[in-house]
Amino acid sequence: MRMSQLFGRTLREAPADAEIASHQWLVRAGFIRPLGAGIFSYLHLAQRTIMKIQAILREEMNAIGGQEISMPVVHPADLWRETGRWYQIGSEMGRFKDKNERDMVLAMTHEEVVADLVRTEIQSYKQLPRLIYHIQTKWRDDPRPRAGLIRVREFTMKDSYSLDADLDGLDVQYRAHYQAYFRIFERCGLSVVAVKADVGMMGGKLAHEFMYLTPVGEDTLLVCGECGYTANRQIARFRKPAAAVEEPGALQPVATPETKTIEDLAKLLGVPEAKTAKAVFMVATLQQERQDREQFVFAVVRGDMDVNETKLTNALHAKDLRPALEAEIRAVGAVPGYASPVGLRGVLVVVDDAVPASPNLVAGANRDGYHLLNVNYGRDFSADLVADIAVAEEGAACPECGAAMRTYRGVEVGNIFKLGTRYSDALGCTYLDRDGRNRPVVMGSYGIGVGRLLACVAEEHHDAKGLVWPVTVAPYAVHIVGFKGQEVAAEGVYKALQDGGIEVLYDDRDESPGVKFNDADLIGIPIRLTVAARALREGGVEMKLRRAEKAEVVPLAEVVARVRASIAEMEAEIAGTLVAVGYDG
């Protein structure tokens, strides 16, 4: 490809809304252009890298028995009604009506479509197991798109779906994906960690997320350096400090004027925050006969902890959760800043599982300026639900070994789910077993966001001058920089590399050497060949790796061989990172 013919151009400055390095460099280097909030066009260079990533995805999916298919991006809403997700998913789902006034859905994912295929194509145990996948456009109307390709609304995903006769078969395919995903990310030049995660709208019994650790990530991960326990904070468990054993004291009101925070309350009364009860008011959207209804929720955790909204949402099986308004809080008889479940009626009370084991807590009196001493669960109030609803913080004790855990920020680049029979049951996906009995097909779902993976590779592989692509996903392997007066020699090198089957970007533009060198660094292709008079006088061209500081002169007759050797060396380095990763279930 000649740069004089390349569609798109490099930019000297990053756009003002580009918050992170990958967004800045991908725009400046001419890889992507924004169309709207969370909607991007991929220009030629980006598309070539995307194709490299997709080739890796296909190779690894095929290696574990995958069969590539293609499924529509527009679905009849009736399919989503059958599984219930039409009612469970909020405004992120793209809904519209066709010209016949039928409800339609823009694909967020394809479990419903797969299940519809399964109920027509799978009849017998002899047709199982199977693994199908596709690489397809998705739409999720995210209210907060940000960070370039990290969080978008329209995106391309590789999603695969395993079909098995039983849970043992699902476990085999889940483990196969677990290993394949590490291979995919390592082949793209990205190191990741796998963490247990919330199943979210997908449903099922188990999920793992593959996380690229980076300060720009929106997810927080809890990691134990001793035993290897890892989990997204959304679901992370931890050992909660045990409360001292005490005899229940007499309930006693105490004046606490202008004391509306746990910190102020603990200081005023001279007690540790763990001896207080923290009230959090939420309104949950619950489903009743597929109709939404709002329910006021009074959540209580110990004062040394915070409420984890994901855990609370899951405990309630809620569709959505939002903070309660002050008017809603007062309407149930609670007083903001001085609230507790003591004496309240007609509210849904959820308490963290550490609260019943913590005697004589200080809690609100539901009266301005007053709290209650010696509040005890079971005697003074009870809950509709007791569950783990507390957030695991930095230093929290590991649930497995008790060691202090660390927190890290990360970006989710892939996920895998054990769906079980959640969709098979809903859509009637059954097969006849060896004894002629109907059994539900057991499903798994596995996704990788292609554009987000591209962005994370760019986030990991850049320097102060621009992108530094791993050779496996670089848009081209070689970038030729030709100067005025050396066109004949540059054309010869270009032709020799092309004839040798090497992918080349040739800067044949009428630009200064400085502009050409800056653009080469900005675009980040692994090998740069400079065809200049000085090197030609020595009988060769200047060869420099993008990641290296120094260049060397390579004889013209050896250019193709030396380039091939450098490419092979870089590929071998990445191949050397591919190791078996155990999954213990």
Helix (H) or strand (E) holding 425: helix 422-427
Whole-angstrom distance, CA of residue 349 vs CA of residue 279: 10
Average pLDDT for 561-573: 97
Q: What is the pLDDT of residue 456?
A: 97
Instruction: Quickly state the pLDDT bin for 262 (edges 50, 70, 90).
Output: very high
Residues 556 and 492: their CA atoms lie apart, in Å, by 9
- Can you tell me the mean pLDDT for 62-80? 97
Specify the CATH architecture of the domain 478-575: 3-Layer(aba) Sandwich (3.40)
Class of 17-189+418-459 in CATH: alpha beta
Phi, psi torsion values for 6, nearest 5 degrees:
-70, 130
Is the pLDDT at 540 greater than 80? The verdict is yes
Q: Which residues is 370 bridged to in the sheet?
A: 255, 367
Give the pair of three-digit tokens for residue 511: 């630009």
Residue 584: pLDDT band (50, 70, 90) is low
Tokens of 181: 């995903």
- The region, left, alpha or beta by phi > 0 then psi within -120 to 50, assigned to residue 205 is alpha
Indicate the pLDDT class of residue 562, thresholds 50, 70 and 90: very high
Compute the distance between CA of residue 5 and CA of residue 21 in angstroms, rounded to an integer: 27
If you search the block for the tokens 């006034």, which residue do you land on?
Answer: 101
Supply the mean pLDDT for the chain.
94
Helices 450-460 and 21-28, axial angle in degrees (round to 10): 100
Main-chain dihedrals φ then ψ at residue 432, nearest 5 degrees? -90, 125
Structural element, H or E, at residue 63: helix 44-63
Query: Cα(432)–Cα(439) distance, rounded to whole angstroms?
Result: 6
For residue 372, is it left (φ>0), alpha (ψ between -120 and 50) or beta?
Answer: beta
DSSP result, 247-310: PPPPPEEEE-TT--SHHHHHHHHT--GGGBEEEEEEEEEEEETTEEEEEEEEEEEETTS-B-HH
Sign of the torsion angle spanned by Cα atoms 181, 186, 190, 194: positive
Mean pLDDT of 443-467: 97
What is the pLDDT at residue 203? 66
Least confident of 92-106, 217-231, 363-377, 505-519: 217-231
> CA-to-CA distance for 156 and 138, rounded, in angstroms?
6
Q: How confident is the model at residue 585 (pLDDT cuts 50, 70, 90)?
A: low
- pLDDT at residue 582 tops 70: no
Number of other CB atoms surrounding residue 121 within 10 Å: 12
- Per-residue pLDDT, averaged over 23-47, amounts to 97
User: What number is the average pLDDT over the span 429-434?
Assistant: 96
Q: What is the pLDDT of residues 185-232, one digit of tens each?
A: 999 999 999 998 877 666 677 889 999 999 999 899 999 999 989 999
Q: How confident is the model at residue 14 (pLDDT cuts 50, 70, 90)?
A: confident
pLDDT top residue among 266 and 198:
266
Q: What percent of the chain has pLDDT over 70?
A: 99
Q: Higher confidence at residue 287 or residue 442?
A: 442
Averaged pLDDT, 414-438:
95
Please give the CATH topology (third level) of the domain spanning 252-387.
Answer: YbaK protein (3.90.960)
Least confident stretch, 13-17, 266-270, 560-564: 13-17
Confidence class of residue 5 from pLDDT cuts 50, 70 and 90? very high
First to last CA, the chain: 48
On the question of pLDDT at 288 being above 80, the answer is no
CA 157 from centroid of its chain's CA atoms? 12
Average pLDDT of the segment spanning 543-563: 95
Q: Mean pLDDT, to the nearest integer, of 404-426?
A: 95
pLDDT score at 260: 87
Say what angle helices 167-187 and 44-63 make with each other, to 10 degrees.
140
Q: Give just the sign of the alpha carbon dihedral 521, 524, 527, 529.
A: negative
E strand residue ranges, 124-205:
130-139, 154-164, 193-196
For 482, the enclosing helix (H) or strand (E) is strand 478-482
Common-topology check for domains 17-189+418-459 and 478-575: no
pLDDT at 581 over 80: no
HSE-CB for 63 with a 13 A CA cutoff: 13
Closest CA to 317 of 264, 266, 253, 384: 384
**pLDDT range class, residue 345, cuts 50, 70, 90:** confident
State how far Cα 33 lies from the chain centre.
22
**Residue 291 confidence (pLDDT):** 80
What's the confidence (pLDDT) of residue 55? 98
The domain spans of the chain are: 17-189+418-459, 252-387, 478-575
Q: In what order do the strands lie in the sheet with 527-531?
A: 504-507, 478-482, 527-531, 540-545, 552-555
Rounded-to-integer distance, Cα 437 and Cα 439, Å? 6
Alpha-carbon distance 385 to 354, whole Å? Answer: 13
Residues 410, 350: Cα–Cα separation, whole Å? 30
Residue 534 has pLDDT above 80, yes or no: yes
Q: Which residues contact 535 (CB under 8 A, 6 or more apart)?
A: 541, 542, 553
pLDDT of the residue at 277: 96
Q: Strand, helix or coil at 322?
A: strand
pLDDT of 77 over the 90 cut: yes
